[in-house]
Structure 1
Amino acid sequence: MTAVSARVNAGRPAGAWPVDDRDFLQRAVARGIVSEAQATALAALRREEAPPISTDLTDDDERVRFVTGFADIFVTIGLILVLGTTGVLASSALGTPAAAALVAALSWGLAEVFSRRRRMALPSIVLLASFVCAAFAAVGSAISADLRFWSIVEGRAAPSEAGILAQIAAAAVSGVLAALHYRRFRVPITVAAGVAVLVVGAFGLLDALLPAEMPFLRSGLAAGLGLAVFALAMRFDLSDPERVTRRTDLAFWLHLLAAPLIVHPVLGFIQADGSGPATASLVLAIVLGLAVVALATDRRAILVSGLIYAGVALGTLISEAGFENWAIAYSLLVLGLFVLGLSIAWKDLRRLVLNRLPPSFAARLPHPIGAR
């Protein structure tokens, strides 16, 4: 280890994998020097040779690489300017389908430089999002102009038959292109993006099979798909409990996608049925349950998705208690204290939750503190 590395990791407990060594393993996997399974085995060997003796480790914190330096931000600004203006100018000159196809092609070409060659984190995320969204728009708008994306997905607008076909076709083509993009560039968010467009396609299939407006079915489909995405995310998480390979990044983005799909239909349906104290208490109980799941899996995304509903529920209870004029302020204060308290006591609470799970299962979870 270099002198700089030694200073960075000075004072860390024995057995705690040094931050730069973990990044080194991820880079080694990305370049094909070692496999993901070998990287996981190396991390496990390090832990076995020097077990952690402290409970104040940062190993169980979710670390996702968004920015590797200010150059990432600088390049991202340039990408947004180039891709945005190209789309606007091409749309007026060539029409929406051709303009979207051009932006998708340009996004792929730029990814050859900034994703494949330079491995820049934030630009890679922007280029992937631009590629998939542009591909979706190109296919969908070529088939039908009736493609109002989220308004159709959420059921606020009833699409025509051509719009439904466009939605399904665009989702299928975008999903295939996302798979090709991941095979070429290995950007972790790509898997979640591909799954997201397939979710949009699933809503299109629902519209095709059951054209009548049925909000309950839409909520059920969203929650079911969310659980499926969550299961896929957990599969990646359980295969890399040390979180040293690309699989942990794949899991993070999948959890980020699964969370709103699960939380919003369930809590939204409950709050739409009424806004009294009983409903608010039920919502808060569900949010606490989500907190337990977040602690067990060491993933905060599903809890974050429920905070909006928790804030509304707290506002209802505070108003009922006679503080209607200050309901918003007090609810935000309580919510903030809850988040900060959870953050401070995260490891102790995780240990409490894991100790109540079957030991064989708890030991397979990411960073199973207190379960070893």
Structure 2
Amino acid sequence: MISESVLVQAVTRGILTDQQATDLRSLARQMNAAAIPEPEDDEKLRLVSGFSDIFVTLGLALFTGALAYLTERLGLTTMWAVLAVTAWLLAEFFTLRRRMALPSIALLVLFAVAVFSCATYLLGAVLGVAVEPDVSEILGSGDSLIFVGAALLTLALTALHYFRFRVPITIAAGTAALAVAVIGLISAVAPGFVEVYLKPLVLLTGLGVFALAMRFDLADPQRATRRTDIAFWLHLLAAPMIVHPLIAQLSEGADMSTVAPAVLAVFLALGIVAVVIDRRAMLVSGLVYAGYALGSLFQRVGFADTTTPLTALALGAFVLLLSAGWRPVRTGLLKLLPSHLAHRLPHPILSS
């Protein structure tokens, strides 16, 4: 589109007359008004800006994989330290200078995992304890404080990474490290409590992450700034932390076919929340459990030989129907909410 300054210069230099410039402005306004508006309820996420992102990410995987293989003989602590430093240095070029989305995400994930793993091995070596950087080892372990220290160091370094590179997924990585630190600290203080109440604890932590994601979402209702990308990754982190313990608690010690209706009811509730906040992450996380529940129901009514295709067909149809009717369904749900709340949500599509 020709800018106003170009039109002014064209009139000044005699390329266009005043009337011609006015006609061009009028034509531009008419074309903008007639243009098909971009769907308001799409989740904009800058993941791949071009095939070069995929090409570079493949190169990064090959390079860092080979580097890990060559440095592993020097010790796991050294290997992870080298990978963390390498990820930072590569981000200086591909993130800070080239602004490539997918490589930036891959390098941040590698950096966070490498820092956590290196810190775990290093603290274990200092304390004379052989540990593995496996989050599941935190629970019921006498070495929980090692994981707390590693998680806090990861949180600090990912914060520095964000201030340097501003990659949106970094906030989710730091939040995950903080969640590990909190659960690890509780496990160190009261290991019996964590073993008994692990699922509710993870659920509460997930709800806290969800609240943080909603804070970013509500601060950018039109999803026009970096906050919407930060919120997306936080929702993606919160979803399994909410869905997994919830479904696991329902199905614990019971036949899946008997609790399938309850699982499907939870999935439906998650779907309603996903539509209202205009985020699909929670719905995607619940698909696995919904598929398992549907499969159990199909087996129960005698469709054992066709359980897998029937389950895939039912879930696929549901996803496609919901995607096709996402906006009208969302409009109907928002009308059921108080007006002041509906207008604060992302993409408030209610009429004023």
Which interval holds the TM-score relative to the shorter structure? Answer: 0.7 to 0.9
**Residue ranges of structure 2 left out of the alignment (5+ in a row):** 4-26, 125-129
Which residue, 38, 57, 61 being the options, matches 1:80?
61
Which has the greater radius of gyration? 2
Range that drifts further, 236-245 or 307-316: 307-316
CA contact (8 A) 1:104 1:135 kept: yes
Which residue, 221, 231, 237 being the options, matches 1:257?
237
Distance (whole Å) between structure 1 residues aligned to residue 2 and residue 55 of structure 2:
29
Which residue pairs with 1:199 in the alignment?
A: 179
**2:284 is equivalent to residue 299 of structure 1:** no
2:66 corresponds to which letter in structure 1? T
Map 1:261-276 onto structure 2 (within 5 A). 261-275=241-255
What is the TM-score normalised by the length of structure 2?
A: 0.86
Aligned-pair distance for 1:320? 1.8
CA displacement 1:244-294 (0-9 Å, x = unmatched): 000000000000000000000001111123125541111111111111100
**2:112 is equivalent to residue 127 of structure 1:** no
- Report how many aligned residue pairs link the two structures: 322
**Residue ranges of structure 1 left out of the alignment (5+ in a row):** 17-56
Map 1:1-372 onto structure 2 (within 5 A). 1=1, 16=37, 57-92=38-73, 94-144=74-124, 145-152=130-137, 155=139, 158-159=140-141, 161=142, 163-212=143-192, 215-275=195-255, 277-372=257-352
Structure 1 runs, 4 residues or longer, greater than 6 Å off: none
Aligned-pair distance for 1:202? 2.1
Distance (whole Å) between structure 1 residues aligned to residue 137 and residue 153 of structure 2:
18
Range that drifts further, 106-115 or 140-149: 140-149
The change in CA–CA distance for 1:366 and 1:307 in structure 2 (over 3 A counts) is same
Aligned-pair distance for 1:203? 2.5
Which residue pairs with 2:19 in the alignment?
A: none
CA displacement 1:120-160 (0-9 Å, x = unmatched): 0001001101111111111101122312414325x5xx53x
SS at match of 1:117: coil
Aligned-pair distance for 1:62? 0.8
The change in CA–CA distance for 1:174 and 1:371 in structure 2 (over 3 A counts) is farther
1:341 corresponds to which letter in structure 2? L
Distance (whole Å) between structure 2 residues aligned to residue 226 and residue 334 of structure 1:
28
C-alpha RMSD of the superposition: 2.1
Distance (whole Å) between structure 2 residues aligned to residue 193 and residue 283 of structure 1:
29
Distance (whole Å) between structure 2 residues aligned to residue 227 and residue 138 of structure 1:
29
CA contact (8 A) 1:363 1:371 kept: no
Distance (whole Å) between structure 1 residues aligned to residue 34 and residue 44 of structure 2:
19
The change in CA–CA distance for 1:11 and 1:323 in structure 2 (over 3 A counts) is farther
The change in CA–CA distance for 1:96 and 1:353 in structure 2 (over 3 A counts) is same
